[in-house]
Structure 1
Amino acid sequence: MKISASAAKITAGTPLVARPDPSHTTWSRLEPLPTSDDVSESLQARVADPLWMLARQWQFNEFQGEDAGSPISAMLEMAGLPVTTLQHNTGAVAALALPPGASPVEAHVEHEQVLPVHPKLNAQAGQQLMRMLRAASLGTTVQALLDKYPATLAAPDDPVADTAGFVWNALLNQRAIDALALSGDLKDLGGSRPALEAFASDRGVPAGQIKAYCDLMERWALWLGELALDGTTPGASAYWEPQRLEYSFSLGAQGEGAPVRLLADEYTDGRLDWHTYTLGAATGAPAGPSDAFSVIPARPPMPATAHYLGMPADRYWEFEDGRVNFGMLGAAKSDLARLAVLEYALVFGNDWFVLPLTLPANALYRTTTFTVLDNFGIELPIPPAEWNMYEMSLAAGAPVERLSNTLYLCPKLDTLEGPPLEHVLMMRDEMANLVWGIEKRVQGTSGEPIDRKFESTRLSTTQTLRPPPDVSPVAGGALLQYRLQTPVAANWVPFLPVRKAGATPANWAIQLQRAVVTHYYQVTESRLSDPRNAGYSEFIARLRGNSFVETTPVQGGADNQLQGFMFHPRGSLLRLDPGAAVANDYLRVEEEEVPRDGIELKRSFNYARDAQGRGLLWIGRSKVTGRGEGSSGLKFDVVSRGKV
């Protein structure tokens, strides 16, 4: 039945009421009210008869037209701010410029010395020069360089434990050129060609071959400089925080007002992305000339419907991708996250659009203008959203009006990580009430990793010492045996709780300080010289010959002498300053950095290619979650029953 608007006394107050303009700015939605954890029943869409199918189509509004427009074009303008500097958070290191085409930030932050800590690689770099000289018919000049710059690979203290060190010592020691020493002398020449020619003459190079010799040395020096990113000081990178066992740095960008800072206080996993940083401003820093730029697409981008695997079809009666079964995703009334995912996938999944836009990486971006044109010719300005999936967190005191709704387009770096040169597991031992740093792998004398567990077995505390010949053992053994403490493996380094500097009785903040486990052994000379104790005597000599084992003065009488042996870490991850004596080097770690799950620390070679295709090799560190609690078996004042 038709009803006349005039008969019903309905009048249009405005022309828009009588004939409204089409628009897509109105919404309507149906809120599901699940009564069961299983949603498969409602998603099965069982077929009863054709009339039922028409009714279902009507229920899903497939017969109803929408007074809405579809976006066909967009006018977009982005304000960009390039990241130009790498800075140390405490100012201990001068700011490093990051021009376009610079090496990735990961490589700059992580890299540490390579050739000084890897004698094998240093000798192999010298062998590369030897091959280049022989290929250029300059083989007669090799011996002069070998005599002046012999590569030294020290013999290991324990060849059985450090087999790689023993092998490379036999193969390369004094048989290759020391690349580090030679390159240092070449750098001292300052790039002067006459000085390089004088260097060649001093090495006995014939006058007719000096030019070819100098050209080859320059090529080799260039190759060596690109072989690896080498640090300038021993130990970790300047951005490594030993108390936190992680990297800490910031990136700088100069915009309007105070310089912008991207703070990365907890960089641990070797992968930098936008969520690694917290956005802030340099307090008290003077404002400089702004490096901001604008990005306006040459052609307006065309919006395209967003798609993902398993996305429901636009129409109800259409075959869909069977790889995703939303019916198997059970959702109770309290499962808000699952309900939100289901609602997005089933109801609003086809309401999202993407705009292709090319932007330079390593810069901060904000949307300044965003206008959408639909197929009805209506231009709709889109204001900045109050939330953003990729919006950066703001540091305390950051100017919200200037830094909110900011996106950092972080450069992508795919890194190949080699086997760990050093691997340390830190875990809590509730029975001993200690934290242990367990060295699993460390670098040997050649730079190649060695298994510390095997070496610890060689330095074990289960050696047998035969009694003197004039002392007869107790028949049947002692009924009770007393031990001051049970033995601990040599590669287990304890960390003891100490009061943090500046802590008050009301605020008992503590740190974990590296300590040692002291083992006392019988070192009476008459007993060590007993042929029956030859293995034990060799064991004591092995302990005294290790650089990471500290000894105490011999105590006791002439017939019963004892000496203490303290096992320090052999690697560098548990060291504060690898250049200092290990006995005077004490590392303190924040107590909260070792959770109940523990942590794993690694030093590894990393290889990547930058945006220009250059190969980059460096040594970096990483920290990941550990394997849980453990037990060292350490006990004190143990009384056990002997054999009867």
Structure 2
Amino acid sequence: MDQTIVRWGRVEPHAATPDIAVGLAAETADPLWFLLRQWQLGELTGDDGGSPVALDTKVSWSRFTRYRPEGTPGRPAVALGDAAAPLERLVEQEAVLTPGDPAATPWTAAVRAGRSLRRHLAARHLTAVADALAARPDLRFDAAAPDGAPLGPDEVRYRRLLAGRVLDGAKVLALLADGPLPAGATAGADPGALADALRDWQRELAEDWGVLAPGADPAPPSWVPDRFEYAFSLAAPPLPPAEPPAAAAADAAAVAPAAELVLRAPAYDGTGLAWYDLDLDADAAADPGRALGAAADGGATGQRTATALPAPLRYPGMPADRFWEFEDARVSLGAATGGPTDLARMLAVDFALVHGPDWYLAPVEVPVGCVARVDWVVVRDTFGAATLVGTAATRAGDGVGRQFQPAAASGPEGDHPLLVVLPSAGAALGSPPLERVALQRDEAADLAWAIEQRVLGPSGRGIELPWQRSEFDLPRARSASAYELVWRLATPVARSWTPLVPAAPRPGAPDGPRLLRRARLLETRTGELRAARSRILRDAAGGVRDEEVTRGGVEVRMLDQLVRRPDGSSHVWRGREKRPGRGEATSGLRFDAATPDLERGRPDLP
């Protein structure tokens, strides 16, 4: 006869037969005991609430139609272009080709632009035009580099293999900016085919490399050089009015702005856009100078009503709904601890244990690149009852729950039930850094340093600038006695270290931000005044805000990025990103120092 016994507080099945199937069945002679335990733990307690079986959702949306870069004040708003391009490319893309100054174009871009032109001409049977252009000495790639530019293995290879042998696409662009191609090079060519080839070629260069307009700032228009961040705004037309249920329509009309919706990203660090990078500008409707002029047109706004089967929302380690259910052993919420000020952890544990089974997922499709608003949600349960889910504005009156909606922390604007669906890249593939500059504090020397670890070479590839501890060693002096004190103007610092010193307030703005400006160090061995060589620091010639260089430091990078969109198109752009640093640096820099000739002290470097 089978029986169930209790040993040391554990319930264990015990069978008198050697059959393993009986033991695995875990039969019990007293099922009433299990029912009693379930009753004691509240598992048999019922209520009058049914389980959701259907959700009816009404959503209104408005597409982003205007964009304004805000790297410098006074930039005009422009219409958004290619809907398939990621927003990061629009914000971050830097122009690589410079027709106004072909010598400033990276060699890689110039050579590839020339090869692309030859390919477009050959596709329209105009190879003779490409050969005639390549035969002109003034249009050949000459591998010219500015004085003092760093040279690496790529620069040596380009000079040996390509200099004077291939067509320079940047020079052809500069020639087209001044007028048509020389008549001698286009003699006998079909004018229509030639115009089509040049148009397609220039469009391809603008999409793949970016072409800088003559006299324009080489930095992206959204780049804020004194903060090493991007700043921009997006605007969408007003959302359409909500429709019944009437209570939800009145609530949505009360909290939704009636003017254009302007969202601003004041400090985007370049590591990938998300909805929390943008803030709703509630003052745009009252201030015409802050508006972007997003007018409603065909297809910019719309509404959608969807019915979906709600699915319980689950996550790894979620507590089980029932007491007699085995849970995932990888997560132990009971072992979570927290100090008196660690309220967030305790709230998360309390929410998981109490409200974990209360969440359901019911997707509603909206266009990519829009601002959406949930007008109303009606929940139908297993008893046939339909419940209108309220919002924050109606919760005080009806006492029921509310939808998940982003809300302002404080202020007279109240709650804004808006959800942002950005046309972001998601996860882009990044190249090795083309430039990498670390900005670190040096408390002993009472200044900050911009340490150039990698800079952009003339070829357009990154060149490492390693430094050694020996570069900080004191040089030998020719003194009569080995122990005689030697006066030094300054102790040496590595070549790639550029000092950042506090600057006086700008004239007319005594209360402006405190800036750190680049300074030049005198190389006592050669008498040379050395300066920064990276593009990142050259763009910040006006100074860097003092609060941006924290004690933890900051690292700024320039890199190429690639992303493939759902429609199969590929998009490439060059951008910058700001990341946390690695703490303080110690250079050991001293001015007006008298030291023994044999001193070989080395600073404590990071």
Partner of 1:59: 40
**Residue identity opposite 1:422 in structure 2:** E
Partner of 2:304: 296
Question: How far apart are the structure 2 equivalents of 1:381 and 1:569?
Answer: 63
8 Å CA contact 2:472–2:491 kept in 1: the answer is: no
Partner of 2:457: 444
Partner of 1:92: 74
Change (3 A) 1:231 1:204: closer
**Residue identity opposite 1:147 in structure 2:** A
Q: What CA deviation, in whole Å up to 9, does each residue of 1:498-553 have, x standing for no partner?
A: 23337999x796321221112334xxxxxxxxxxxxxxxxxx5xxxxxxxxxxxxx
Q: What CA deviation, in whole Å up to 9, does each residue of 1:176-221 have, x standing for no partner?
A: 21112324545676xxxxx7xxx586216556x8877666555544
- 3-state DSSP of counterpart to 2:552: coil
Partner of 1:384: 391
Change (3 A) 1:135 1:83: closer
The question of 1:246 aligning with 2:229 is answered yes
- 3-state DSSP of counterpart to 2:352: helix
- 3-state DSSP of counterpart to 2:368: coil
Change (3 A) 1:289 1:160: closer
Q: How far has the Cα of 1:370 moved from its partner? A: 1.9
Question: How far apart are the structure 2 equivalents of 1:160 and 1:91?
Answer: 34
8 Å CA contact 1:74–1:370 kept in 2: the answer is: yes
8 Å CA contact 1:366–1:406 kept in 2: the answer is: yes
Q: How far has the Cα of 1:102 moved from its partner? A: 5.3
Change (3 A) 1:627 1:487: same
Instruction: Name which of structure 1's ranges 153-162 and 615-624 shifts more when overlaid on structure 2.
Output: 153-162
8 Å CA contact 1:275–1:392 kept in 2: the answer is: no
Question: How far apart are the structure 2 equivalents of 1:569 and 1:621?
Answer: 18
Partner of 1:614: 569
**Residue identity opposite 2:317 in structure 1:** G
**Residue identity opposite 1:418 in structure 2:** S
Q: How does 1:241-320 map to 2 (within 5 A)?
A: 241-255=224-238, 257-280=258-281, 281-282=283-284, 283-285=286-288, 290=296, 293-297=301-305, 299-320=306-327
8 Å CA contact 1:151–1:173 kept in 2: the answer is: yes
Out of 354, 361, 364, the residue aligned to residue 357 of structure 1 is 364
Question: How far apart are the structure 1 equivalents of 2:539 and 2:210?
Answer: 22
Partner of 2:423: 411
Partner of 2:168: 178
Q: How does 1:95-114 map to 2 (within 5 A)?
A: 95-98=77-80, 101=83, 103-114=85-96
Question: TM-score when scaled to structure 2?
Answer: 0.77
The question of 1:119 aligning with 2:119 is answered no
Structure 2: give runs of 5+ residues left out of the alignment.
Answer: 1-8, 14-29, 99-104, 239-256, 394-401, 600-606
Change (3 A) 1:46 1:362: farther
Change (3 A) 1:101 1:46: farther
Change (3 A) 1:394 1:336: closer
Change (3 A) 1:461 1:327: closer
Q: How far has the Cα of 1:141 moved from its partner? A: 4.7
Q: What CA deviation, in whole Å up to 9, does each residue of 1:469-509 have, x standing for no partner?
A: xxxx73x535222223201122211111123337999x796
Structural RMSD (CA): 3.7
Q: How far has the Cα of 1:60 moved from its partner? A: 2.5
Q: How does 1:237-636 map to 2 (within 5 A)?
A: 237-255=220-238, 257-280=258-281, 281-282=283-284, 283-285=286-288, 290=296, 293-297=301-305, 299-330=306-337, 335-385=342-392, 391=406, 393=408, 400=413, 404-413=416-425, 414-453=427-466, 474=480, 477-501=482-506, 510-521=514-525, 540=526, 564-576=527-539, 586-610=541-565, 612-636=567-591
8 Å CA contact 1:111–1:231 kept in 2: the answer is: no
Change (3 A) 1:365 1:388: same
Q: What CA deviation, in whole Å up to 9, does each residue of 1:47-93 have, x standing for no partner?
A: 47967644432233222333211122222212222221111346532
**Residue identity opposite 2:354 in structure 1:** V
The structure number with the bigger radius of gyration is 1
8 Å CA contact 1:263–1:279 kept in 2: the answer is: yes
8 Å CA contact 2:471–2:493 kept in 1: the answer is: no
Change (3 A) 1:312 1:486: same
Question: How far apart are the structure 2 equivalents of 1:510 and 1:607?
Answer: 37
Q: How far has the Cα of 1:602 moved from its partner? A: 0.9
**Residue identity opposite 2:74 in structure 1:** A
Change (3 A) 1:502 1:181: closer
Change (3 A) 1:257 1:79: same
Question: TM-score when scaled to structure 1?
Answer: 0.73
Change (3 A) 1:56 1:294: farther
Question: How far apart are the structure 1 equivalents of 2:54 and 2:235?
Answer: 35
8 Å CA contact 1:87–1:249 kept in 2: the answer is: yes
Q: How does 1:1-40 map to 2 (within 5 A)?
A: none
Q: How many residues align?
A: 530
The question of 1:236 aligning with 2:219 is answered yes
Partner of 1:526: none
8 Å CA contact 1:201–1:210 kept in 2: the answer is: no
**Residue identity opposite 1:250 in structure 2:** S
Out of 133, 153, 177, the residue aligned to residue 163 of structure 1 is 153
Partner of 2:102: none
Question: How far apart are the structure 1 equivalents of 2:368 and 2:594?
Answer: 67
Question: How far apart are the structure 2 equivalents of 1:381 and 1:293?
Answer: 25
Structure 1: give runs of 5+ residues left out of the alignment.
Answer: 1-44, 190-194, 468-472, 522-539, 541-563, 578-585
Partner of 2:58: 77
8 Å CA contact 2:92–2:270 kept in 1: the answer is: no
Q: How far has the Cα of 1:268 moved from its partner? A: 0.9
8 Å CA contact 2:555–2:581 kept in 1: the answer is: yes
- 3-state DSSP of counterpart to 1:419: coil
**Residue identity opposite 2:266 in structure 1:** D
**Residue identity opposite 1:284 in structure 2:** D
